[in-house]
C-alpha cells in the first residue's frame, strides 16, 4: 500500500498546475465565445475529458474543450460555420493545427498546454447523438456524479499503471483501455487493488457489468452479437449497447492480466515508471547479430489521420506475417510503429533470414495408389526424388523460388501492401543495421525499437519470485 501512496503523491496534479490549466481554459473559452457571438451563433463552451473529470495526471496538460452547437444546425453547417468559429479563435490564441478523427477539430498550443477544440452538438440525451463526440458531455456528467475524490485517485493509479505496462489508450496504436474505461472500472470495483485482483483472475472473454437493472445474461448475448471479436465487454452506462472496451486486443488484455498478477506478487514503483532500458543504439544493433530482424520502411508524404494510418499499417503487418508463414518463414514476432508524420516502420523477427534452398515434400505411402501416382507425376520434374523413405512414404526435394526473407518481402510487396494509403508507397526492406536503427531513434521510435529487440519489459521480471 505504501507504494501506491507514494506514487499517488507524484501523480496528483499540483495546485499550480490546476491554476495554469484553469487560466488557459478561461482564455480559450472567452475567445471562442467572443467569436461565436460575433457570428450570431449561440454556443456553450465546455470542458470535457480527464481534466473535467479531475482524473488527470500531473504533467498531462491536455485540455478537451467541446463547443456545443444547437441541434437546429445541420451537420454540414457545424462542420463549416461551427468549425470556422473555432479556427478563428485558434488563430488569435496561438500556434494551432487542424486535426481530423471521425470529425474535424482544431488543436491549439498555449503556455505549454495543448487544447483540442472540438465542435459538437448539444443533444438532450445520449440517444439523440449525431456523432460520437456528442456523447462526451454525458460521460463527464456520469463520472462526476459517480466517482468520489478518493475514487478519482484510484483512477490516477490505474491509468499510470496501464501506461507503464503499455495498455493505456484506446487508439489503434495501443488497442488498450480508454480513460473512460479506467474510470468505469473504478466505478465498478472502487479501488486500484481490487481491480488488479479481479483482473488477475480474468478468463477471456471477460464481461463487466456496469449497468443497473438489466438482465445481464441476456445483455451479454446482445453485446457479443454486436461485438463478436471483442475480448473484453464493458457497456457504456450512458449508451448501454456500446462496448467501451471494444478496441482492447487480446495482447493488451493479456498484458494487463499478467501485469496485475505481477504487481500483486510484488508491488513496486517500477510499475508506475515507464523508464526505457538505458542501452545505446550500438548495443541494440549488436543484439540483432545472429538473429533475423527485418525492417520495412514507409516514407509518408501525406499521412491519413493516426487511427487510419495505424489500422492500415497493422493490416499490412498481418498480411506480411501470413504471407511469410505460407512461404515457410517462421515469424516469431512483429510490430509496427509510426511517428504519424513522415515515416512508418514494420519490424519482423524471423527464426531465419534464409530458409533451406530445397523444400522437402512428404507424400503418401505407395500403397495409396492414386495419391501416390499423382504425387509422382507432380514431383517428377523436381530436382531430387521422388524416392521412398524408411516409413514407406514418397518424398521429394523441390527448389524454392525464394529463400531469402528480404527478397520475399520485396517480391510480395504488391500482395501485402494493399491498404489504400499505403498502396502507392513502395516500402524499402532491409535487415536491421546501425543506420536504420539510428534513423528510427531520430524519428522518435527508440522505446519501440528497444522493446522489440530486447523483448524484456522491466516489470515482467517481477512476475515470479
Residues that bind its own copies in the complex, under the rule CB under 8 A: 201-204, 249-251, 253-255, 257-258, 261, 290-292, 330, 332-333, 351-352, 356-358, 360, 365-367, 369, 372-373, 376-377, 380, 384-392, 395, 397, 454-457, 460-461, 463-465
CB–CB of 47/75 below 8 Å? no
Beta carbon of residue 258, minimum distance to its own copies (angstroms, whole number): 4
The C-alpha atoms of residue 72 and residue 41 are separated, in whole angstroms, by 11
CB–CB of 232/248 below 8 Å? yes
Backbone angles phi, psi at 183, to 5 degrees: -65, -40
95: Cβ contacts below 8 Å, ≥ 6 apart: 108, 109
To the question of whether residue 2 is assigned a binding role by annotation, the answer is no
In 3D space, the residue among 459, 464, 444, 440 whose CA is nearest the CA of residue 277 turns out to be 459
DSSP element (H, E) containing 223: helix 216-226
4: Cβ contacts below 8 Å, ≥ 6 apart: 157, 192, 193, 267
To the question of whether residue 407 is assigned a binding role by annotation, the answer is no
The C-alpha atoms of residue 23 and residue 246 are separated, in whole angstroms, by 36
To the question of whether residue 91 is assigned a binding role by annotation, the answer is no
The C-alpha atoms of residue 358 and residue 287 are separated, in whole angstroms, by 29
Specify the residue, 82 or 259, whose C-beta has the smaller distance to its own copies. 259
To the question of whether residue 159 is assigned a binding role by annotation, the answer is yes
Specify the residue, 2 or 203, whose C-beta has the smaller distance to its own copies. 203
Distance (Å) of CA 155 to CA 21, 148, 191, 195, 346: 20, 11, 8, 10, 33
CB–CB of 85/43 below 8 Å? yes
Specify the residue, 103 or 379, whose C-beta has the smaller distance to its own copies. 379
79-101: b (≥16 Cβ within 10 Å) or e: eebbbebbbbbbeebeebeeeee
Specify the residue, 117 or 262, whose C-beta has the smaller distance to its own copies. 262
Specify the residue, 36 or 253, whose C-beta has the smaller distance to its own copies. 253
Distance (Å) of CA 229 to CA 201, 250, 263: 21, 10, 28
CB–CB of 115/65 below 8 Å? yes
Beta carbon of residue 321, minimum distance to its own copies (angstroms, whole number): 9
To the question of whether residue 64 is assigned a binding role by annotation, the answer is yes
Distance (Å) of CA 274 to CA 220, 318, 451: 35, 28, 12
Beta carbon of residue 366, minimum distance to its own copies (angstroms, whole number): 4
Beta carbon of residue 175, minimum distance to its own copies (angstroms, whole number): 10
CA-based end-to-end distance of the chain: 19
Beta carbon of residue 402, minimum distance to its own copies (angstroms, whole number): 14
Beta carbon of residue 360, minimum distance to its own copies (angstroms, whole number): 5
Beta carbon of residue 140, minimum distance to its own copies (angstroms, whole number): 33
Beta carbon of residue 407, minimum distance to its own copies (angstroms, whole number): 15
Specify the residue, 130 or 258, whose C-beta has the smaller distance to its own copies. 258
- Strands in 292-299's sheet, in edge-to-edge order, are 331-338, 343-350, 292-299, 428-431
Q: Percent helix, strand, coil in the chain (nearest 5)?
A: 45, 20, 30
The C-alpha atoms of residue 331 and residue 352 are separated, in whole angstroms, by 9
Residue with cell 501416390: 372
- How long, in residues, is the chain? 465
Beta carbon of residue 311, minimum distance to its own copies (angstroms, whole number): 15
Beta carbon of residue 438, minimum distance to its own copies (angstroms, whole number): 22
Specify the residue, 224 or 359, whose C-beta has the smaller distance to its own copies. 359
Q: Which residues are annotated as a binding site?
A: 50, 62, 64, 116, 139, 159, 168
Which residues does the annotation place in the binding site for CTP? 50, 139, 159, 168
Known binding positions for ATP: 50, 139, 159, 168
Task: Give binding residues for Mg(2+) as ranges.
Answer: 62, 64, 116
Amino acid at each position: 500500500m505504501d507504494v501506491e501512496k507514494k506514487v499517488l503523491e507524484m501523480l496528483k496534479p499540483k495546485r499550480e498546475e490546476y491554476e495554469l490549466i484553469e487560466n488557459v481554459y478561461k482564455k480559450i473559452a472567452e475567445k471562442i465565445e467572443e467569436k461565436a457571438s460575433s457570428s450570431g451563433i449561440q454556443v456553450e463552451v465546455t470542458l470535457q475529458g480527464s481534466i473535467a473529470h479531475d482524473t488527470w495526471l500531473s504533467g498531462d496538460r491536455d485540455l478537451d474543450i467541446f463547443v456545443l452547437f444547437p441541434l437546429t444546425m445541420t451537420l454540414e453547417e457545424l462542420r463549416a460555420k461551427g468549425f470556422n468559429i473555432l479556427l478563428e479563435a485558434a488563430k488569435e490564441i496561438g500556434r494551432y493545427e487542424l486535426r481530423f478523427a471521425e470529425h474535424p477539430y482544431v488543436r491549439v498550443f498555449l503556455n505549454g498546454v495543448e487544447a483540442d477544440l472540438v465542435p459538437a452538438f448539444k443533444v438532450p440525451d445520449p440517444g439523440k447523438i449525431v456523432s460520437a463526440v456528442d456523447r462526451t458531455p454525458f460521460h463527464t456528467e456520469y463520472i462526476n456524479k459517480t466517482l468520489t475524490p478518493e475514487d478519482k485517485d484510484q483512477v490516477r493509479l490505474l491509468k499510470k499503471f496501464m501506461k507503464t505496462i503499455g495498455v493505456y489508450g484506446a487508439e489503434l496504436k495501443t488497442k488498450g483501455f480508454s480513460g473512460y474505461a479506467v474510470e468505469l472500472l473504478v466505478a465498478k470495483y472502487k479501488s486500484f487493488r481490487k481491480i488488479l485482483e479481479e483482473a488477475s483472475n480474468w478468463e477471456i472473454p471477460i464481461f463487466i457489468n456496469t449497468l443497473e437493472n438489466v438482465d445481464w445474461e441476456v445483455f451479454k448475448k446482445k453485446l457479443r452479437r454486436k461485438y463478436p471479436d471483442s475480448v473484453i465487454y464493458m457497456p457504456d452506462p450512458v449508451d448501454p449497447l456500446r462496448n467501451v472496451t471494444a478496441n482492447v486486443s487480446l495482447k493488451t488484455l493479456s498484458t494487463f492480466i499478467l501485469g496485475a498478477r505481477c504487481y500483486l506478487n510484488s508491488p513496486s514503483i517500477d510499475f508506475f515508471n515507464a523508464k526505457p532500458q538505458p542501452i545505446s543504439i550500438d548495443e541494440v544493433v549488436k543484439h540483432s547479430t545472429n538473429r533475423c530482424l527485418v525492417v520495412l520502411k514507409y516514407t509518408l508524404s501525406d499521412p491519413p489521420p493516426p487511427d487510419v494510418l495505424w489500422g492500415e499499417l497493422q493490416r499490412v503487418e498481418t498480411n506480411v506475417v501470413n504471407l511469410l508463414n505460407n512461404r515457410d518463414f517462421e515469424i516469431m514476432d512483429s510490430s509496427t510503429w509510426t511517428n504519424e508524420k513522415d515515416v512508418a516502420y514494420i519490424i519482423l523477427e524471423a527464426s531465419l533470414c534464409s530458409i533451406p534452398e530445397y523444400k522437402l515434400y512428404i507424400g503418401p505411402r505407395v500403397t495409396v495408389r492414386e495419391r501416390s501416382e499423382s504425387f509422382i507425376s507432380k514431383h517428377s520434374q523436381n530436382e531430387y526424388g521422388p524416392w521412398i523413405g524408411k516409413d514407406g512414404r514418397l518424398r521429394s526435394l523441390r527448389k524454392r523460388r525464394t529463400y531469402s526473407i528480404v527478397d520475399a518481402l520485396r517480391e510480395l510487396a504488391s500482395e501485402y501492401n494493399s491498404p489504400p494509403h499505403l498502396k502507392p508507397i513502395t516500402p524499402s526492406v532491409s535487415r536491421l543495421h546501425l543506420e536504420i536503427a539510428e534513423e528510427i531513434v531520430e524519428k522518435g521510435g527508440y522505446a519501440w525499437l528497444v522493446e522489440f529487440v530486447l523483448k524484456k519489459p522491466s516489470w515482467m521480471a517481477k512476475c515470479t519470485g
